[in-house]
Amino acid sequence: MDNRKGFHQSLDELQRDLLKMGVMVEEAIFLAVKSLANLDVSIAQDVIAGDDKINDMMVEIESSSLRLLALQQPMASDLRVIGTAMKIVTDLERIGDHAVDIAKTTKRLQGSKLLKPLVDTPRMAEMTKEMLRDALNSYVKKDLEIAQSLAVKDDEVDSLYKQIFLELQELMESSPANVQQATLLLMVCRNLERIADHATNIGEWVIYMISGERQELNH
């Protein structure tokens, strides 16, 4: 029998809100990269405008967490759930900011033509988005294995990042005219690589939430 039903319902709500925010952020990554691949400024504009909602969500989750800490004095796994929520929102918010940065790149490329069709960058975006989804899934399902699998995926993202980096470098070496766009695309890949890192951070907190142990996922 649960003697703290009301409190545990609030905890469930907190977790639902966090998941909702996660879905919003995932959508932002998807749209940002889509706007870039299609050089579609109106989509980019939606991503930039949508970031306010993500930030509001963060403030709301932080406030609920602090309120629960103050009013309920949670212990053990309850305490870890709340502490984890407060850490994860920060990572989600940063991911949202990276999506905005990518959308802004789309705006800066407005009117120009892509040097070549983007293939690897959307692939990298897909991988980071998947990592974020895994991180959120591991949170919802309290699944250690999914959380731990993020380490491998982060390595894959890192190696793809290196590959794209070299390609863009070659592109720049071949013609100075390419430098401006290649630099911007490089920054996009850097944004994606950082998103993957934030996903591993989330995974690390999920591992703590489940087991109470700290484990490094980003080597």
Partner 1 sequence: MKTSAVSMNEKIRVQGLDLYYGENQALYEIDLSVPEGSITAFIGPSGCGKSTLLRTLNRMNDLIPSVKITGSVLVDGENIYGAETDVVHLRKNVGMVFQRPNPFPMSIYDNIAYGPRIHGIRRKKDLDVIVERSLKQAALWDEAKDRLNKSALGLSGGQQQRLCIARLLAVEPKVLLMDEPTSALDPISTLKVEELTQELKEKYTIIIVTHNMQQAARISDTTAFFLNGVMVEHGETDKLFTNPSDKRTEDYITGRFG
Give residues 80-99 in contact with partner 1 (rule: CB under 8 A): 80
Show the CA angle centred on residue 50, arms to residues 47 and 55, nearest 5°.
125
Q: Using the rule CB under 8 A, which residue among 19, 24, 39, 79 binds partner 1?
A: 79
**Closest CA relative to residue 47, chosen from 2, 113, 95:** 95
- 20 is an interface residue for partner 1 by CB under 8 A: no
In the shown chain, the binding pattern of residues 156 to 195 toward partner 1, with x for contact by CB under 8 A and - for none, equals ----------------------------------------
The beta strand positions in 47-197, using DSSP E, are none
Question: SS3 letters for 16-48?
Answer: HHHHHHHHHHHHHHHHHHHHHHCCCHHHHHHHH
Among residues 75 and 152, whose Cβ is nearest to partner 1? 75
Q: What is the C-alpha to C-alpha distance for residues 191 and 3, in angstroms, rounded to an integer?
A: 45
Shortest reach from residue 204's CB to partner 1, in Å: 15
Among residues 76 and 152, whose Cβ is nearest to partner 1? 76
- 1 is an interface residue for partner 1 by CB under 8 A: yes
- 70 is an interface residue for partner 1 by CB under 8 A: no
Q: Which residues of 109-128 are buried (b: 16+ CB within 10 A; e: fewer)?
A: beeeeeeeebeebbebbebb
* Phi-psi group of 8: left, alpha or beta (phi > 0 → left; psi -120 to 50 → alpha; rest → beta): alpha
Shortest reach from residue 65's CB to partner 1, in Å: 16
CA 175 to chain centre: 34
Among residues 65 and 106, whose Cβ is nearest to partner 1? 65
Shortest reach from residue 205's CB to partner 1, in Å: 14
Among residues 6 and 176, whose Cβ is nearest to partner 1? 6
Among residues 15 and 121, whose Cβ is nearest to partner 1? 15
Q: Using the rule CB under 8 A, which residue among 60, 78, 130, 143 binds partner 1?
A: 78
**Closest CA relative to residue 61, chosen from 5, 7, 16, 8:** 16
Q: What is the C-alpha to C-alpha distance for residues 34 and 27, in angstroms, rounded to an integer?
A: 10
Chain positions contacting partner 1, by CB under 8 A: 1-4, 7-8, 73-80, 211-213
